Amino acid sequence: MEKPLRLLVGLGNPGPEYLDTRHNAGFWLVDQFCRRHAISLTPNNKFWGLEGRWQRGTTDLRVIMPQTFMNKSGQSVAALANFYKIEPEQILVAYDELDLPPGVAKFKKGGGSGGHNGIKDIHAKLGTADFLRLRIGIGHPGDRAKVTGFVLGKPPLSERQRIQDTIDASCDAVDVLIEQDLRAAQQLLHSFKSTK
């Protein structure tokens, strides 16, 4: 039996200059999820982030957007998880994924960081990689030397639209994950293709 989801994390960098950059795809997802469920996010210095809570029926979900900058995301996630006694497998982390094209998103349980500094830090601070991930495709510049500029750049409008479509579908899938299970959520999300 799967344990219920208790924490949704969106990864990104704080500050207006990063708002529309590819690296903030995790923030975009949490923004969308919070709008959908009327969850208000407020600064919580104890957890170094913007925190919200969604309660419905048996669901009691915390939501956080760490405000620590990407490579220290684990500080925020671990502080909140430890405080509320949330186990790693009850955490879903949404983030930008270079290895998937825009218009594609995939769930993944555990595994490596794929070089993503936010995931790397969460793994280090939690002491385990056994948390759920929601990988939001942003594409790859084709050259490792260009990755930093690429993730900190803004996608062109057509790509942004495909990413947004994926985020809408991902929010549907997170709802299914909460109401049913990971397999049902994966079936829904992994069959989605942006038509843009």
Q: State both tokens at 160.
A: 């942004």
Concerning whether 23 is annotated as a catalytic residue, the answer is yes
Contact residues for 133 (Cβ-Cβ < 8 A; gap 6+):
92, 93, 94, 95, 107, 108, 109, 111, 119
Residue 131 marked ligand-binding:
no
Active-site residue, selected from the candidate residues 23, 37, 116, 140: 23
Known binding residue 150? Answer is no
Is 18 marked as binding a ligand?
yes
Q: What is the torsion angle, in degrees rounded to the nearest 10, for the CA atoms of residue 123, residue 129, residue 132 and residue 137?
A: 70
Q: Which amino acid is at 114?
A: G
- The response to whether 82 counts as a known ligand-binding position is no
Report the distance separating Cα 141 and Cα 122, nearest Å: 25
What is the C-alpha to C-alpha distance for residues 136 and 164, in angstroms, rounded to an integer? 10
Give the pair of three-digit tokens for residue 117: 């500094």
Secondary structure element (H or E) that encloses residue 137, with its range: strand 132-137
Question: How many DSSP H helices and E strands does the chain contain?
Answer: 6, 7
Annotated binding-site residue numbers for tRNA = 18, 69, 71, 117
Catalytic positions are: 23
Annotated binding-site residue numbers = 18, 69, 71, 117
